[in-house]
Amino acid sequence: MASDHTARRVDASGDPLRLLHVHAHPDDESSKGAATTAKYVAEGVDVLVATCTGGERGSILNPKMENPYNEEHIAEIRQKEMETAREILGVRQTWLGFVDSGLPEGDPLPPLPDGCFALQDVDEAAGALVKVIREFRPHVMTTYDENGGYPHPDHIMCHRISMAALDAAADPTKWPEHGEPWQVAKVYYQMSFHRSRFARLDQLMHEEGLPSPYAERLSEWAEDPEAEARLTTFVPCGDYFPIRDAALKAHATQVDPDGFWFAVPLKIQQVGWPTEDFQLVRSMVPTELPEDDLFAGLDTHVVAPDAEWYYQI
C-alpha cells in the first residue's frame, strides 16, 4: 500500500481501493497481469493475491535450476520464490492451501492424483476463497475464464471456485462462519494472452529484423473474432513492464531468463502493446466499454500526498 507521502486512490468512504487476484499457482501472479498490479500498487491500491495451490507438482522449467536438490524441495523453493515476487510487486499474498494437480500428459491422459485441487468439490473448496473475500472486501476481483486461460486442470478449477465464491460471499446464508457478506463490485477474467497481441509483437520483431518467438505459434493459431470480441478492458501499464519482468524472474525454477518470456525487447513490447487486457464479466456499477481502468464506474478519488484535498476520477 502507498505511504502518506504518495497519492492514493480511495473509495467514496475514503478507504483504499482493494483489488483481489485469484491465481492457481505461484508464478501466475507474475505472468498474468503483473504490470497492472504494479501500476495499481503505485497508485495506492491495496492488492491481495490469493494463490490456490503451492505448485508442488510443478516441473522445473529453467534448465539452469535443474538439480536433484531443487526437484526434491520444489514446494519449499516455490514458496520462497513467491515471497520474493510478492515483495517486488508490493502486494499481500495468501495461500488457499490446496495441492497442485500437476499437468497430466499422455494419450490417454492419466488420472489426476488423489486429493489434488482439481478433484475437490467446487462448493466446498470455494469456502476458503469466501473467507478471503469477506475479510479483504475487494472492490474488484480477477480470475481466469472458463477454459482457465489455458486448459490446466488447476486453472479451470481456479475459475470454478472463483465464480462459486463470488456468489457465496454475497449470500448471508452461505458460510456464515466466514464473516459478513461482501458483494464484489466488478469481476474480470485475465485475457492478455490473445492472438492480436502476439501478432502485433511478431510484426514489430520482423520490422526490426529480429527473430520472433511467436512465428510458429501464430502459424498454428487461427484468427478468432469471437475470442477477440471478449476483450473489454485495456489497462495502460507499459511503464511497469520492468517490475513485471523482475517479479517473473523471481520464479527462477519456472522461468528461464534467457527464454521465451523475455525474447521480445522491452521497448518493442512497450510500443507494440503497452496494455494488459481483461474481460469484464460482472459489474454492479454502470460502465462504458471499452475501459482502461479496472475500477471504472466506481466512485473513486485520488487523495494527494500529505494533504486533505482530493479530486474525483
Can the peptide bond before residue 225 be classed as cis, meaning omega within 30 degrees of 0?
A: no
Q: What's the CA gap between 139 and 186, in Å, rounded?
A: 7
The C-alpha cell of 279 is what? 474481460
Residue 311: its pLDDT value, please? 47
Nearest CA-CA partner of 280 in 238, 235, 236: 235
The C-alpha cell of 265 is what? 525487447
What stretches in the chain show pLDDT beneath 70? 1-5, 306-313
Place of cell 482530493: 310
Neighbours of 161 (CB within 10 A): 28
Residue 307: its pLDDT value, please? 53
Residue 301: its pLDDT value, please? 87
Q: E-strand spans in the chain?
A: 8-11, 18-23, 46-53, 92-98, 140-143, 186-190, 233-236, 275-283, 300-303, 310-312
Q: pTM for the whole thing?
A: 0.94
Q: What's the CA gap between 17 and 169, in Å, rounded?
A: 18
